Structure 1
Amino acid sequence: MRLLRIVPDNTRFKFVRFRRFSYPLSAAYSMLVIILFLTVGLNYGIDFKGGTLIEMQAKDGKAEIAQVRSTAHGLGFGEAEVQEFGTAGDISMRFALQAGGEAAQQAVVVKAREAFSANYDFRRVETVGPRVSGELVQAGTLGVVLAIIGVLIYLWFRFEMPLAIGAILGTLHDIVLTIGFFLITQLEFNLTSIAAILTIVGYSLNETVVVFDRTRELLRRYKTMPIDELLDLSVNSTLSRTAMTATTTFLSLLALVFFGGSAIEGFALVMLFGVVVCTYSAMFVSTPVLLYMDVRFGRPESAEEKAPAATKAKAKA
């Protein structure tokens, strides 16, 4: 029985030469991320800003968005963010953090139920006070920083210095591009987003380690092969595995986007972007970095290449 092969065995695609396009593209995107972060900022969710989130569904299946917005604004809790989402009749309301602690946040929920319970079913209610939101910000930031530091330490010990630097740059590149996805789409940034970023870090690490393991193996086997050809060979030899992993992961996440519901839709969208970015990064960003480093420094000559070298020396003698 013939096995399915997404990528032919004899593929010899020149990945490294595309650094002339991938590096300027990634640099321009990174600059855009910095500008947007300083000017627009992330769309922080209720987990980090505090406040009250209420999701409702119209009992008759038809939501009067203008009427709901007018009633919500008239509750006396400031301007409320009201929008439709999901299927027909679904509405979400977001009230800003109220002064007065937890009791003030609960008062928002009580008044909202009094105003809307006759025509709407309450599907989800989340209330986060200022103290809790502050703790979540600190814990989320600390978790991401420690995870990234742990990954960088692992990469430093996992590979020799040139390979480790390439892997570290690739991982940081993927994190920056993922943050850019949040900034451009203004997708809500909450605790689920933190989980998505950490998952992308793991996926990026996995993709890079697979390619760099093959690179290290080929460096031991072909000491005199030009570096650009060796790097292309390492990517091509792992391309079938990379394509299979990315395709299956992408299809699984696509199913979550369409059928997983609003609770995990944001996570699935970020992960879809992350799979594409990590695959692109491993082939067109991390690997070409090795062209600018002495990846052969201190490596002994392989047995396969010692023999031809010895034969040439005898012939000259």
Structure 2
Amino acid sequence: MTSARHIDFLSKRKIAFFFSGSLLLISVISFFAKGLDLGIDFTGGSVYEMHYNQAADLDKMRATLEQEGFADANLQHFGSAADVLIRLKPVENISQKELSEKVLKVANSSQAQPGEMRRVEFVGPQVGEDLINDGGLALLFAFIGIMVYVSVRFEWKLSLSAIAALFHDTIITIGFFSVFGWEFDMTVLSAILALIGYSINDTIVVYDRIRETVHTSRIKESINEIVNTALNDTLSRTILTSLTVFLTLLALAFLGGKTIHGFAIAMLIGVVKGTYSSIYIASSLALSLGLTREDLMPPAKDNVVDDMP
């Protein structure tokens, strides 16, 4: 089905390349200058499980902990509104016992009635380092799997462009966390892994449409016209899919609490960048690499000569 609209996406590709290049440069510079604010999943730290006889007020508890020097405290309800899980990054010059007693005292001072500490866990730096290594391997294997898939399914110029767009989306999404100093924890890493699949799916839909359009287009149509037609044909699907995901993530970001806030923010950024890159980056890069109609045409079958009498 061909769309009646016709937006000349490719005429804006130089602007898109400049915009994306600027974001990539800012992200890379921020990685080297600031790095990432890693959560206790990666750095190690302490975990405390508190129980109260009434619903605990997390906002008051968080404010009180911040006033007492625990600015990086991560709080969430655990099972019920009366149970609280407190995560702290490593605190120096204090024993684990003294730290536990101080956390209990400060947390109870923020509530109407005191609670009890039911569980204390310490996450060592080695565990955090192992999680960093495992997370890096997960990203690496995800990229390798997608690289193999697209290289088998598409012509090399399309495959290379799809992988470049995928790196583009991932680096810029992580770059936001580096530039703004947002905490990067396991939930954010999970979002990045989910975005890799989301982004490549959008790109594959566009590529499939480009290939179909080549087979049905008139011979006099240029490859630029064909790509523009394919982008217009898939625009409604791209916008509707991205919009429904975006609205869901927006609700999670504002109503889901601090625990999944990083996940929702990473997904929001990634969905926007993935939609943008599937329209302006992936296809434009393929054209810059010299994609032609002939690259997308099925190979001609050799004529078989029948020598039978």
Q: Same fold (TM over 0.5)?
A: yes
- The equivalent of 2:45 in structure 1 is 51
Q: Secondary structure at the match of 2:60?
A: coil
What amino acid maps onto 2:24 in structure 1? S
Q: What 5-or-longer segments of structure 2 have no aligned partner?
A: 77-83, 301-309
Identity of aligned residues (%): 35
Following TM superposition, by how much is the alpha carbon of 1:262 offset from its aligned partner in structure 2, in angstroms? 1.7
Among 208, 229, 254, the alignment partner of 1:258 is 254
| Contact 2:45/2:90 (8 A) holds in 1 | yes
Once residues 29 and 122 of structure 1 are traced to their aligned partners in structure 2, the CA distance between those partners, rounded to angstroms, is: 48
Structure 2 matches for 1:50-199, cutoff 5 A?
50-52=44-46, 63=60, 68-69=65-66, 72-73=68-69, 80-81=70-71, 94-96=88-90, 105=96, 108-120=99-111, 127-199=122-194
Residue 268 of structure 2 is aligned to residue 272 of structure 1: yes
Check the 8 A contact 2:38/2:185 in 1, yes or no.
yes
The answer to whether the 8 A contact 1:30-1:176 is kept is: yes
Change (3 A) 1:290 1:224: farther
Per the alignment, residue 281 of structure 1 pairs with 277
Q: CA distance change for structure 1 residues 19 and 131 in 2, over 3 Å: closer, same or farther?
A: same
Residue 230 and residue 125 in structure 1: after superposition, are their counterparts in 2 closer, same or farther (change >3 A)?
A: farther
Q: Over residues 222-272 of structure 1, what are the superposed CA-to-partner deviations in whole Å (9 max), with x where a residue is unaligned? A: 344111111110100111111110111111111211222221111111111
Label 1:209 to 1:122 Cα distance change in 2 as closer, same or farther (>3 A).
farther
Q: For the Cα contact (< 8 Å) 2:34–2:178, is it kept in 1?
A: yes
Per the alignment, residue 243 of structure 1 pairs with: 239
Q: What is the distance in 1 between the residues matched to 2:212 and 2:6?
A: 18
Q: Quick check: 1:41 aligned with 2:35?
A: yes
Cα pair 1:162 1:295 within 8 Å, conserved? no
Deviation at residue 106 of structure 1 after TM alignment: 6.2
Change (3 A) 1:85 1:300: closer
Does the 8 Å contact 1:162/1:290 carry over to 2?
A: yes
2:303 alignment partner in structure 1 = none
Cα drift, residue 139 of structure 1: 1.0
Superposed CA RMSD: 3.4
Q: CA deviation at 1:290?
A: 2.2
5+ unaligned residues in a row in structure 1: which ranges? 1-7, 74-79, 304-317
Q: Post-superposition shift, 1:69?
A: 4.6
Give distance in 1, aligned partners of 2:102 and 2:175. Answer: 38
Deviating more after overlay: 266-275 vs 255-264? 255-264
Cα distance, 1:62–1:185 mapped onto 2, change above 3 Å: closer
Deviation at 1:111, TM superposition (A): 3.6
Q: Within 5 Å, give how 1:295-306 maps onto structure 2.
A: 295-297=292-294
Match of 1:227 in 2: 223
Alignment check: 8 A CA contact 1:231 1:287 kept: yes
* Cα distance in 1 for residues equivalent to 2:253 and 2:62: 25
**Offset of 1:38 from its aligned partner?**
0.5
C-alpha distance in 2 between matches for 1:107 and 1:225: 75
